A and B are shown apart, each in its own frame.
Chain A
Amino acid sequence: MKRMILTSLFILFGFLSILSLSTLAIEAEIGKSAPDFTLPDSQGKSHSLSDYEGKIVVLEWLNHGCPFVQKHYDSGNMQKLQKTYTEKDVVWFSIISSAPGKQGYCTPEQANEITKEKDGAPTAVLLDPEGTVGKSYGAKTTPHMFIISKEGILVYNGAIDDIRSTNIDDVNKAQNYIQMALDEQLAGKDVSVKTSQPYGCSVKYKN
């Protein structure tokens, strides 16, 4: 009897570990519920995606050392998008998934400092040094952008725009996917371009 219980415990444990592994492997998929998360921001406040039901949420993967990110901040493009859409009640999270010691990693103080210096205007800068949220969304590059609908559905996954370069002059020539998708969402329409290949530096995850 004792053996049977032990065996069934073993089997149950096996199942559980398989389950937990497979949930880890699930990446964010368009048209499905966006993975929930809880992360601290640079001010020490905790944010869960589920707190923002009923609002459109933008996730922007960030590393200020990356030349692709610099293109969108030095041109003022990213800050402009952040200002424009947070004023329209969109929640904008800039997420740093760089591991300690790697490019782009920030302590809360450093994150506040650089956000101020760059005149960044997101709702909050979230810190993900373990990379768990980055990996659950399949964030590959900085920048890599995601948009979540008011219903909590992932409606956009991809690049910020359609010109892959580090050249500031390209910002105004490019078709901005985020602007397009957010305007569509705010007008109650479906997002027309739901995915694109993200471009940028690799996210500096922990080894």
Chain B
Amino acid sequence: MNRGMDKTKGPNSHILVFFLAAFFILFSGLLFPKDLKENALQQPVEARLVAEVESIKPGTQFCVAVWLRMEEGWHTYWKNPGDSGLPTSIEWDLPEGFVAGDIQWPYPHRFETSGLISFGYEGEVLLLIHLKAPVALKSGMLVRLSAGVDWLACKEECVPGHADLSVELPVREQEPKTDGRWKEHFARTQKNLPKLLQQWKMSAALDEEKIVIQVFPSFPFHQRMTDIVFFPEQEELTEYSEPQNVRNFKRGYMVEVKRSKIAVKLPNRLKGVLYSPEGWDRMGEVSALRVDVPLHRF
């Protein structure tokens, strides 16, 4: 590009530069294994796009997921990241006629760093998405589903990450089979999605200081539960680092959450997740209830 430079170095330098570059690209792995290792540490998240099924039936809905695996000590974020952080986001690039739903987030975990709270995932997580296939798909064709995924991973420090992911699935008329490789992962994730259970009656009210959530079972349920945690989906509403006050009554449970001083506008509904390690059913299989109730004033 720079003519002055060409004149001073002459055309031969191009060939030399080319060979040097090729040499470096080919052998950098051998020459700088330590640097490569450091690069791996700099990006502590592995990402994949995976499908629950082995094929797509035209006109039906199926489930895919962004699978994230974090190195030890690192976490990525829930839809409400907490005091800091950023939720993982997905931008789809789908063939014509495909429609993607919102991310279905499993209940998060709470991380504390020097008094500040984050909501997210460590180890591995599947973020589920329902995709709807168009009717006009020809049997036998191969469909490529692509997505750009952005995340922020933090340990003590934070590293943003991005990956362009894709998965290919054949179109078949018969009912799709479950992909055995990811069966367990999808099942576990489905179990960890917050559920709306009809047997639980829920209400929420607030005053100047706090929000009070009450839950009552409409079936015989006498489990003592002292470790219930409310994860707020809405930001600016509650103080994440303040302890939550859980009470057990004869007929149900109550969780008191301190309000944030930042909130200026108050929402009409309270949204979030109520987690209990004992579970909200008699089998102890539903750990997280979805909260989406009117937010009354006391």
Contacts and interface: CB of A to CB of B under 8 A. Distances in A.
Interface of A: 27, 29-30, 65-68, 99, 102-103, 131, 135, 138, 140-141, 157-158, 164-166, 194-207
A198 B81 CA distance: 11
A205 B261 CA distance: 21
Contacts of A197: 235-236, 262
Nearest to B263: A195
Contacts of A199: 84, 86
Given A141-B84, A164-B86, A166-B86, A201 B114 contact: no
Interface in B53-92: 83-86
Given A140-B116, A195-B263, A201 B84 contact: yes
Contacts of A68: 158
Contacts of B158: 66-68, 201
Contact of A202 (B118, B159, B236, B264): B118
Interface in B226-247: 235-236
Contacts of A164: 86
Contacts of B262: 157-158, 195, 197
A156 to B, nearest CB: 11
A194 B264 CA distance: 8
A206 B85 CA distance: 19
Given A165-B86, A202-B113, A204-B114, A65 B157 contact: yes
A140 B152 CA distance: 17
Contact of B264 (A66, A141, A195): A195
Best-surrounded residue of A140, A206, A207 (most CB of chain B within 10 A): A140
B264 A102 contact: no
Contacts of A203: 84, 114, 116
Q: Is the interface of A mostly helix, strand, loop or mixed?
A: loop
Nearest to B162: A167
Interface string B151-176: 01010111110000000000000000
A68 to B, nearest CB: 8
A124 to B, nearest CB: 25
Q: Is the interface of B mostly helix, strand, loop or mixed?
A: loop
Contact of A206 (B86, B114, B116): B114
B92 to A, nearest CB: 18
A201 B236 contact: no
A29 B261 contact: yes
Contact of B115 (A27, A67, A194, A205): A205
Best-surrounded residue of A99, A165, A202, A204 (most CB of chain B within 10 A): A202
A207 B42 CA distance: 24
A23 to B, nearest CB: 15
Interface string B197-239: 0000000000000000000000000000000000000011000
Given A195-B263, A197-B236, 19 more contacts: A66-B157, A67-B159, A68-B158, A102-B156, A131-B114, A138-B261, A140-B116, A141-B83, A165-B86, A195-B264, A201-B154, A202-B83, A202-B116, A202-B154, A203-B84, A203-B116, A204-B114, A205-B115, A207-B114
Nearest to A205: B114
B23 to A, nearest CB: 32
A55 to B, nearest CB: 25
A201 B160 CA distance: 11
Nearest to A193: B264
A207 B113 CA distance: 8
8 contacts: A30-B264, A65-B157, A67-B152, A140-B84, A197-B236, A198-B84, A202-B114, A205-B115
A196 to B, nearest CB: 8
A40 to B, nearest CB: 22
Nearest to A140: B83
A195 B84 CA distance: 16
Given A141-B84, A197-B235, A103 B156 contact: yes
Given A158-B262, A194-B264, A166 B235 contact: no
B156 A204 contact: yes
B264 A201 contact: no
